[in-house]
A = this chain, B = another copy of it.
Amino acid sequence: MKTSWKSCTSPALLLDTRIALRNLDRMAEKAQRAGARLNPHFKTHQSAACVPWFTERGCTGITVSSLKMAAYFADAGCTDITVLFPVNIRDINRINALVSKVKLTLNVISVEASRFLHKHLTHPVTVLVEVDAGYGRTGISVNDTGQIRALLECFQELQFPFYGFYIHAGHTYDAANRNEVAAIHQQGLSALKALLTAWEPVFPELKISMGDTPACSMLDNFDGIDEIRPGNFIFYDLTMAAIGACEFTDIAVCMACPVVAKHESRTEIVVHGGAIHLSKDWLMQKAPDGSNQMIFGRPVPIFDHHWGEPMQDCYVRKLSQEHGIIKLTQPEFDRIQVGDLIGVLPVHSCLTADCMGAYLTETGDTIEMMKWREMK
């Protein structure tokens, strides 16, 4: 059944596939120009329906963030899958089910995990090593040469096919502008190049893998990088717009929210669209009065087959489980009525998509995500 955007009666995550495909075309062309392989991260869209978008543009390998996601995309026909999450050895049965049918690359960052895998794997996997050049989430510190050496010697001993080094420079998400993103990217790349120089004599096929959405969107030169793995760029969001990694018009998802109440004294409206729809992720921004304001989304008008730009000086001030409280300017407040539908651009599209589990496209079609299967 087709559902038009304007006819939504409860919160729905609208996906403008025209914008998403434009974002993808731009990234695929950039990767090709730069001579880097695009190995896209699928944690953002999490949908088998999006796979052809990528294969049609020449992507052969994909990146995921969990073994369940790897299994889902293996069932969707993907045959070269990298799990960019430190390998979860408790899930060895799922790993073995996967290695029997796809080329699987795992992120292995400890000798203990290597030995466990060696003992329990039924088929070979390729291994990749995540290093940390300052983000501080996970990966071996680039300065910890002893630990890197111990791990790579273990790979040699166990005869693991070693793919290369990977960095997720996630602190680009906190960058304020292009220069900061470029500096973070350059720092990571220098660290990887030093590792390459040190280890290429031992592993001549060694690859360098890096490139988050901010860096891949804002920079053009990927010299020395074999492959990039951005994910969020397919949809973008307010966080990426705040960094300058995209324009508002590049954001491909938008929550349709029914307006249920107006509060004149505070020029605020209440919408059905809360933390269980948008996620509780936030962004610090300057409010019109100059104060620092935690915002949870920005309202846009919804039309039949597109949405508009964010309403100036308006923002989602608060979310509870199902309520969204949107602060409006007086003119916008006067224009909007109870029973209207309003759009909210998300702060973090990956989490918003995961909350919703499905998209409603501009053609009125529903696209299912992995969660549809997970819940069963």
**Partner-B contacts on A (CB < 8 A):** 8-10, 43, 65-68, 85-91, 93-94, 109-110, 112-113, 116, 136-138, 141, 170, 258, 260-263, 265-266, 270, 272, 275-276, 279-282, 318, 320-323, 325, 337-339, 341, 350-351, 354-355, 357-358, 371-372, 374-376
A89 and B339 form a contact (CB under 8 A): yes
Residues of B within 8 A of A272 (CB): 66, 85, 88
User: In the assembly, what is the distance between CA of A281 and CA of B355, in Å?
Assistant: 13
Closest CB of chain B to A38's CB: distance in Å?
A: 20
> For the complex, what is the distance from the CA of A270 to the CA of B139, rounded to whole Å?
10
Shortest distance between the CB of A120 and any CB in chain B (Å): 11
Q: Which of B91, B110, B279 contacts A338 (CB 8 A)?
A: B110
Residue pairs across A and B with Cβ atoms less than 8 A apart, 9 shown, are A65-B321, A66-B322, A88-B258, A88-B272, A112-B338, A138-B261, A138-B270, A275-B351, A279-B279
B280 adjacent to A351 (CB under 8 Å): yes
A9 touches B322 (CB 8 A): no
Whether the pair B87, A260 counts as a contact (CB closer than 8 A) is yes
Asked, given contacts A261-B109, A355-B355, whether A88 binds B10 with beta carbons under 8 Å apart, the answer is yes
A277 and chain B: residue at smallest CB distance? B354
Scoring A113, A357, A375 by chain B CB atoms within 10 A of each residue's CB, the highest score goes to A375
Known: A89-B339, A321-B350; 8 extra A-B contacts, CB below 8 A, are: A88-B260, A110-B338, A137-B318, A138-B260, A276-B354, A280-B281, A321-B351, A372-B376
Name the one of B8, B67, B137, B325 contacting A320, with C-beta atoms under 8 angstroms.
Answer: B137
Contact A86 B261 (CB under 8 A): yes
Identity of the chain B residue whose Cβ is nearest the Cβ of A138 in the assembled complex: B270
| Chain B nearest Cβ from A129, distance in angstroms | 12
- Chain B, Cβ-Cβ closest to A262: B110
A94 to B372, CA, bound (A): 22
Is B260's CB under 8 angstroms from A85's CB? yes
| Chain B residue contacts of A85, Cβ below 8 A | 260, 272, 322-323
The CA of A376 and the CA of B147, in the complex, are separated in Å by: 47
Q: Is the beta-carbon distance between A351 and B276 smaller than 8 angstroms?
A: yes
Q: Are A91 and B258 in contact, CB atoms less than 8 angstroms apart? A: yes
Interchain CA distance A121-B260 in the complex, whole Å: 17
Contact indicator A323/B137 (Cβ below 8 Å) = yes
Does A321 contact B43, Cβ atoms closer than 8 Å? yes
